[in-house]
Amino acid sequence: MSTPEILFAALTDVGRQREHNEDNFLVDKKLGLFVVCDGMGGHAAGEVASALAVRTLHEEIKREADLLTDYARGGAGAARVSKRDILNMLEFAVNRASSRVHAEAAKDEKKRGMGTTLVALLVIGHTAFIIYVGDSRIYLLREGVLEQLTEDHTVRNELIKKRKMSREQVEQIAQKNAITRAVGVYEHAEPDTLVVDLLQGDRFLLCSDGLCGYFEEDLETLGRLLSNPNADAAARSLIDAANEQGGKDNITSVIVTVGDATARDVTRAKQLQLKRETLARMPLFRPLNDREILRVLQVTDVTAFKNGEHVMTEGATGEELFIVLSGTLRVTRGGAELATLKTGDHVGEMALVRSQPRSATVVSDGPSELMVIRRTEFFEILRKEHQLAVKLLWQFLGVLADRLADTSRELGAAKEELAAEDITGDIFEDDDEADRKTLILPEPH
């Protein structure tokens, strides 16, 4: 599969009510890096913060160019670079930027407390890596559907997520739009990440809140303006639309298009949609929202198995959950066939929470494709995404309860069998205690 060409358009505008533009953006097509930062702080300190954050992030990622190349090559064994390796590099780069901005603020009292939001998109081959802090956003327009990929780090969003208040109550809070995370306010930032498999024709919008704030209740218009095949015209129309509605803040729009915006890869689109739908239908992941499903997908690999190849072996230890995307699996225990697994079925979920011997052998019956989630990466989600962790662990309790109920039913059936009528007396009816002869041998002299 050839790597699609990446096209872009970028514009920034001071807006109609600000004197300084504290937004900064960066486009490095060769590196595949696109960044938007929205600075904050008095005396133009926000402009300093956003510029320094953009520059530092760029420098840190350029230093890791070999890592990006190795990931694109898809090496195996010791040469393999994982998605987690790329995300770790991005997180380090953002925290390095936060440390630099924080140190700069400490030198000048007028800049104390300055900081910046940050959204960054790194495209490597057919994969997009996203990292974000604050309330700037990244949207994805795919197959005519517009989706917000990032979550705002604001008081409003945090309260809604934690269900501390109803949406109506949250809207009454004066500081509901206050940012809860930023780059540079503290030495360390708390970035969130996402990984997205790319499709030909995908279009991303990176923007500051001076743009997306005007489309909060009108995603239809945002999607329509963004879908213009001419990316330069789309970027200009988005800036103009924000200004026409007041332009109360600085406005930045960076549009990134994967290949031809009008192109469609139907086969790959169906594959990616199948992965997402299969995961969403599983009892373990059913309560998750779209962004949380994407978060789980980023730690999911797809592995092909040949006819007769073992997926897992009874008695062996394992740490993977397997989900059938295509094909059929046979499940056996002690040589006896227990079940047949087809598309959407899964096996090995308990390996995600504890290391124990596999209770059955699973073999591919013909060629198959399986989604694989490993315990170490699953724990990474639990550690970083507290709300998501609560949902997942609650669902695991349900899985354990179902298994316990099944075990109780099996034990009950076994107990009934053991309590069946005892016919031993009938079999040995002549062997009565009163008729038994006893011989006492004399003691030896």
Give the pLDDT band (50/70/90) at residue 378.
Answer: confident
Mean of per-residue pLDDT scores for the chain: 87
149-150-151-153 Cα dihedral, nearest 10 degrees: -170
Within-domain flag for 409: no
- Farthest CA pair distance, the chain: 124
Reference 153, options 294, 40, 257, 253; nearest CA is 40
Average pLDDT over residues 434-445: 49
Average pLDDT over residues 139-161: 89
Percent of the chain with pLDDT over 90: 54
Take residue 76 and report the two structure tokens written for it: 């195996």
pLDDT value at residue 417: 65
Q: Which of 110-114, 330-334, 384-388 has the lowest mean pLDDT?
A: 384-388
Average pLDDT over residues 210-221: 93
Residues 161 and 298 in one domain: no
pLDDT value at residue 443: 56
pLDDT value at residue 344: 86
Reference 116, options 93, 86, 136; nearest CA is 136
pLDDT value at residue 260: 85
Residues 196 and 342 in one domain: no
For 227-256, the pLDDT digits (tens) are 999 999 999 999 999 999 999 999 999 999
Instruction: Give the domain range for residue 356.
Output: 268-386
Take residue 32 and report the two structure tokens written for it: 């595949």
Residues 327 and 374 in one domain: yes
368 vs 390, residue with greater confidence: 368
pLDDT value at residue 427: 46
Contact present, 207 and 141 (Cβ < 8 Å): no
Q: Which of 264, 295, 322 is the last residue of a domain?
A: 264
Q: Which of 206, 234, 264 is the last residue of a domain?
A: 264
Within-domain flag for 229: yes
In this predicted structure, the answer to whether residue 434 has a pLDDT above a threshold of 50 is no
Contact present, 149 and 140 (Cβ < 8 Å): yes
Helix axes 386-418, 375-384, angle to 10 degrees: 130
Give the pLDDT band (50/70/90) at residue 99.
Answer: very high
Predicted TM-score (pTM) of the model is 0.81
Reference 347, options 389, 313, 395; nearest CA is 313
Average pLDDT over residues 414-424: 60
CATH code for position 295: 2.60.120.10
In this predicted structure, the answer to whether residue 106 has a pLDDT above a threshold of 50 is yes
176 vs 207, residue with greater confidence: 207
Strands of 278-428 (E only): list them: 300-305, 310-312, 320-326, 329-333, 336-341, 346-347, 361-364, 368-374
DSSP characters for 163-183?
TSS-HHHHTT-TTTT-BS--B
Within-domain flag for 422: no
Within-domain flag for 403: no
Average pLDDT over residues 43-48: 84
Q: How many domains does the chain have?
A: 2
